[in-house]
Amino acid sequence: MKTMKRFFILALPVLVVLVSLTGAAIQQAVTCDQKALKDAARAKLDPYKYDSGKVTQFRYRNKAQLKEIEVPVFIGEKYRMVFNMEAVSRNVIISVYNKDKETKNRKVLWTSKSSEPGTKIHVFEPDNAKFKFYVDYDLPAVTDSLPPTECVVFMLGYK
């Protein structure tokens, strides 16, 4: 009986960790179904042809974060960008810039703040493609106990 009790005392923290890790893994699978998110984004690309895509995983912290994607494009081409935020529950702001985060006086070409509230799939067609666009994800600071990881799908199409 004593041995059993000792075993349960030892095993309890392990079980707690196991349950929370499994829960997080399930939550991750539910919130970031990459195939479904990509397929939905691709449907919004039409009539543009698929050029490239990027799934970005967010790991929220107790500090605001900035994550940037560099998007090479070809001069004079017509592009459409699609962002699928269906798996994002927090207030992540997307912005598209003409220069990278290190450059002073860069111009914001579009921001998700200009979309209708509640929009989950954002579409932006930039004018005058030059060589690169920079997509920034502004992640809020998170201190609650909700799942710390989510993802967004970015897709680029060309005509």
- Choosing from 51, 82, 83, 112, the residue that interacts with other proteins (CB under 8 A) is 51
Interface with other proteins includes 38 (CB under 8 A)? yes
Q: Which is nearer to other proteins, 71 or 94 (CB)?
A: 71
Q: What H or E segment, with its residue span, contains residue 6? A: helix 2-31
Q: Which of 114, 132, 123 is nearest to 154 (CA)?
A: 123
The residue length of the chain stands at 159
Query: Which CB sits closer to other proteins, 42 or 115?
Result: 42
52 sits near other proteins (criterion: CB under 8 A): yes
103 is an interface residue for other proteins by CB under 8 A:
yes
Phi, psi of 18 (to 5 degrees): -60, -45
Distance between start and end Cα atoms, the chain: 73
* Residue 100, CB-side half-sphere exposure with 13 Å CA sphere: 9
DSSP 98: S
Nearer to other proteins, 58 or 117 (CB): 58
Does 74 bind other proteins (CB under 8 A)? Our answer is yes
Where do contacts with other proteins occur on this chain (CB under 8 A)? 7, 10-11, 14-15, 17-18, 21-22, 24-25, 34-35, 38, 42, 49-59, 61, 63-75, 99-101, 103, 105, 130-132, 138, 149, 154, 156, 158
